[in-house]
Every structure is written in C-alpha cells, then in structure tokens.
Amino acid sequence: MKQLILWSLVLLCFNSCSAQKNKKPNFIIIFTDDQGYGDLSCFGGEHVYTPNIDQMAEEGARLTSFYMASPLCTPSRAALMTGAYPRRVGMEPPSSLAVDLPNIPKGKKFPVCLAADGNGLNPNEITLAEVAQSVGYKTGIFGKWHLGDQPEFLPTKQGFEDFFGLPYSHDISPKHPRQQFFNFPDLPLLEGEEVIELNPNKDNLTKRVTQRAIQFIKEHKDENFFLYVPHPIPHGPVAASKEIKKEYAKVLESGVKSSSNIYSTAIYEIDWSVGQILKTLKDQGIDDNTIVLFTSDNGATRKGSTKPLRGYKGQTLEGGMRVPTVIRWPAKIKAGIEIDELLTSMDVLPTFAKLVGAKMPKNTIDGKDILPVLLNQEKTPHEYFFYSHWGTLEAVRWKNWKLRIIEGKEALYNLKTDIAETNNLKDEYPDMVTQLKKAMLDFEKDMKENARPVGHVENPKTLTIK
C-alpha cells in the first residue's frame, strides 16, 4: 500500500512537472517573401484566394499597422532576428558600401548576403532563436535564411538546432535572367550545415518547406518549441507545385473569384501551407497554446498588390514596409479583432523574451514588448518609427503623422485619413514637420554613435556539395 501511494505521488509530481514545463506557449513565425499588404483576401485582395489565413484571422487578430524595419529582404530579416533596426546591427549598409560583384556593369551595387559573401549577421548578436534556446525551447528553421551564407553565419550558428533550406534567395542561381552580369554559382540546398542538393526545383520549395515544418512540430509536440518558416515564395521566380496548380484550377472552376496567374497560385500554395501547419497543431493537441504569426519580409514587387497603400518593395512608402500580418493564439488573443496600433517586427524578440521569462540581450534593442497591445489592452509603446532604405533615413512616423524626405523634398501625410500618402500637408502643419525632422536627426545621431559591426570573414567560399 505504501509503495502504491509512493508511486502515485511520483506520477503526480511527474505530470505536474510536465504540465509546468509546457505551460509556456510554442511559437511559430510564418514569414513570406515579397508578399504585399493587399495579397491576402482578409486584407482586401480580390486577386488571391487565402481561406486558411482568412480563417486564422477570424480566430485571431489582423495587425493592420505592422511594419518591417526595411523594404528589403536581408535587413528586414536581421531586424526580426535581433529586435533592432538593421542599421544598428550593420545589416543595411549605405549604397556606397554595398558589395561589388564581379562582372557587374560599372556603378551597379548590391546589398550584403549574396552568394559567397563575406558579410553576414554578426555571431555576437543574440537572435530570437538563441533567446528561445536559453529557456529550453527546441528551435528549427525551414526555408530561406539570407543573413549570411558562410559557415560562421548559418542558422545553426545563430541558435537554430534544425535547418533545411536556402542560404539566400532562390533567384541567386545560374538561372538568373541577368546571369551574364552576375555569374552566380549553383544554388545550394542545405540540411544543417551540409549542402545536400544543387539547384532544387523551385516549383516544390513551398511544399518541401511545409513538410519539414510539419515534421518538426510532430517531433517536438511534447516540448516547447520555436519554429521559423521563412518561405522563399512569392519572391521571383514565382513558382508553385503541380498539385497546387491543379487544385487551384479546380477552385477557380468552382466559381471562386481570383486571378489565375502564377502569382496568385503561389499565394494559394502558401495559404495551403498555413492550413497544413494549423491542422497539425490541432491534430497534435497543441493548438490552443501555440502562437502563430503570419507576415511578410517587405512589400510586394509590382507582380503583387500593396493596395490600398502606395509604393512597393524597395521603397519607404507604406507599401514597401507595412505588411499583411495575422496573429493567432487561442488561449490569449481575442478572436476576430483588428489591431491598428503601430507595431513592428523588432517587437517580436522582446515580447517573446518577456512572455517566456528569458533574459533580454545586453545589446541595444529597438523593439518593445507589445503583448499588452495584442491582448487589446494598451496602445502602441512606440513613440517614433523610422523608415530607412540602403542605409539612408527617408521617413519617420509619429502617431498618425508621417514625414518623408527624398532628395530634400519634404512630404507630410496623415496616415489615418490618407493611408495612400497622396495629400502633402507640410505647408499646413509646419510645427509637425519641425518636430519630425528633429526626431530624424536624433535617430541619425543614435545610429552613428551606437551602431554595431556587421559580421565579416575573409576569403568567403561558395557553398557546394562536398
């Protein structure tokens, strides 16, 4: 009898400890590439069909003023991973410091993190994955990294235990339309730090990334995990699997109103991927306490839609940096709400760190804890948000006001009444212009005095099969 009681107590303690261990939420970030503000049905897109993400929005919150810290791939990803402006971590250099590539027409420059590039995210930076690891989370990334392709900069050196995917964009390959200028090497597909395939079929990228994400969830369903799914698509060359092309054709035949081009097909496959991930969470019984954040790395190219915003990828107009974002956490976030407070990708790291009880990095962090905003309890914690491109500060937002200065030309917009930035109010509100210009000067000073160096290695080598 005493033995039975003892074993009962041990079992009770074990179950209690397990429940205690797993009461922290799992966290999944689904991060698409070049998907615009209007490229979701639930954000008004009529050219796309995204039923799973729409359902996710109905069960969670649409974040309608969510910003990336850059209108380009590499710097926006650096900000997500570090919680800091890309200029602060050396990942948005001025164009004069951009990398010169061989065989490029004179004067043509390109950003950091291309093939065999000596620059990458500094290993001294503390990433979101390392924050998760510090409190016992399993970490995995499946998709596109684009923060350095040398061994010192790969995800496995930045807090991720599992990695399957590409070191950079899938157009950086011998099939690039301007290959005569670039001379790009074969595109490597990695498993961990090993190249397992060259020039993978682009049509199957979304499907393969999704399969690995699902496998990761199943393997770690009894543990806390952080899963990062940075899809290479719909960045060009836009692609989709044969199976999805057939399925989408049937959807259109059924009367669904949407475009029938490859771009909308690719978006439909991304939506399928989101549906598969959400279904897996439910099947594994971990849906309620898993946070899923869906967003994009920057605005769309002209193949996509940024409506009702103006501007595209590579611009500091709203369409370049305000992105379609949905967050779902059934245990905490109210279903079916819209949150229009100013939020940024830099907020993800400090919010997650505080939520799970992790120590914050000692380096300067520009993001804020936005959990009270997501719980619909408080306003944005940001006073200002700064828009930079190629290392040049071009705009600032304060509340609903945005000042943009390009080549000395000033434009002041009220984003509440003029989301498309069409009505320049600078002459009507000179005091506001003065205030915002001072904020920009202060930001520039801060970046000059408190920026950290980019990671760099000498003699970078092309990744290939050994």
Domain annotation covers residue 412: no
Select from 84, 123, 88 the least CA-distant residue to 450: 88
**pLDDT computed for residue 16 by the predictor:** 39
CA 209 to chain centroid, in Å, comes to 15
Average pLDDT over residues 108-132: 83
Phi, psi of 283, deg, nearest 5: -65, -30
Summarize pLDDT for 12-64 with one digit per residue, the tens. 444 434 443 458 999 999 999 999 999 999 999 999 999 999 999 999 999 99
**pLDDT computed for residue 102 by the predictor:** 52
Q: Using a pLDDT cut of 70, give the percent of the chain over it.
A: 91
CA 244 to chain centroid, in Å, comes to 24
What are the structure tokens assigned to 152, written together?
A: 């010192």
Angle at CA 339, nearest 5°, toward 333 and 345? 85
Domain annotation covers residue 159: yes
**pLDDT computed for residue 113 by the predictor:** 65
Domain annotation covers residue 337: yes
pLDDT-derived band at 93 (thresholds 50, 70, 90) equals confident
Report d(CA 187, CA 169) in Å as an integer: 9
pLDDT-derived band at 179 (thresholds 50, 70, 90) equals confident
Domain harbouring 185, CATH code: 3.40.720.10
Residue 334: domain span: 24-382
- CB-CB neighbours of 450 under 10 Å: 11
pTM for the whole structure: 0.93
Report the domain count for the chain: 1
The set of catalytic residues is 73, 146
> Which is it for the CA torsion 340, 344, 348, 353, positive or negative?
negative
**What mean pLDDT value characterizes the chain?**
92
Pair 112, 119: CB distance under 8 Å: yes
Domain annotation covers residue 290: yes
Report d(CA 86, CA 94) in Å as an integer: 11
What are the structure tokens assigned to 6, written together?
A: 């003892």
Pair 24, 224: CB distance under 8 Å: yes
Domain annotation covers residue 1: no
Summarize pLDDT for 234-266 with one digit per residue, the tens. 999 999 999 999 999 999 999 999 999 999 999
Domain annotation covers residue 336: yes
* β-sheet bridge partners, residue 166: 144
- For the chain, the first-to-last Cα distance in angstroms comes to 62
Domain annotation covers residue 9: no
Alpha-carbon distance values, 399 to 219, 403, 411 (Å): 44, 11, 16
Domain annotation covers residue 419: no
